[in-house]
Structure 1
């Protein structure tokens, strides 16, 4: 890294939101990955990909924003990364959070592919 290079003022951390619509106990977001996504830096030069940990963070971020998720992370299970998410790729993020179960089900997919999926468990912050 060049120490004299200016720091990027507003790094792009999230995909572009194209649209959204409600689903059973959740929401489906239509998203597009920007070419200048900050997480591409150093995550691989020849073919930049969205790291799995970023996909998990996005699922939690959007669940907090659109589903009112306020609980504290507990653990994850059945997390599978099947296909790469690449620059300028369009996809849907399906989020389902049945509050009684305290788990967030996420799925990154298109009409023809499933990119990743899993369950993130939470516990009530007031407990």
Structure 2
């Protein structure tokens, strides 16, 4: 993982071309000291990175993001208030690339939506 101890995977269930993963955020991670002091917010780039890492783990290959077709940040993720998150990813192969969609949510509240393409890398 690029972000050491930023989050922990608690549970992951795969079915066909989808995976549901539950994670726990580390609210004490150093990144929150700067983003933002006294009001921690999970940076958008970290949400994209977690998406890539979970998909990479699911497929058993290293991935590189080649195209982010649509990214929507719908609500702030404060790790003190929303320590647990659910990732619902779907994926398929399209012209040598992996097409993926992801939604990050908790208890029905949607924080993040992603559509994009990845390629396998060394």
Whether 1:107 aligns to 2:78 is no
How far apart, in 2, do the equivalents of 1:94 and 1:18 lie?
Answer: 14
Whether 1:91 aligns to 2:85 is yes
Counterpart of 1:19 in structure 2 is: 11
Task: Give 5+ residue unaligned stretches, structure 1.
Answer: 1-10
Alignment RMSD, CA only? 2.3
Counterpart of 1:118 in structure 2 is: 114
TM-score normalized with structure 2 length: 0.80
How far apart, in 1, do the equivalents of 2:51 and 2:44 lie?
Answer: 11
Q: More strand per residue: 1 or 2?
A: 2
What do residues 54-78 of structure 1 show as CA deviations (whole Å, max 9, x unaligned)? 1001110111111235454221022
Whether 1:53 aligns to 2:45 is yes
Shift of 1:35: 1.6
How many residues align? The count is 116
TM-score normalized with structure 1 length: 0.77
Shift of 1:102: 2.4
Distance 1:102 1:17, change over 3 A: closer
Runs of 4+ in structure 1 displaced over 2 angstroms? 11-14, 67-73, 122-125
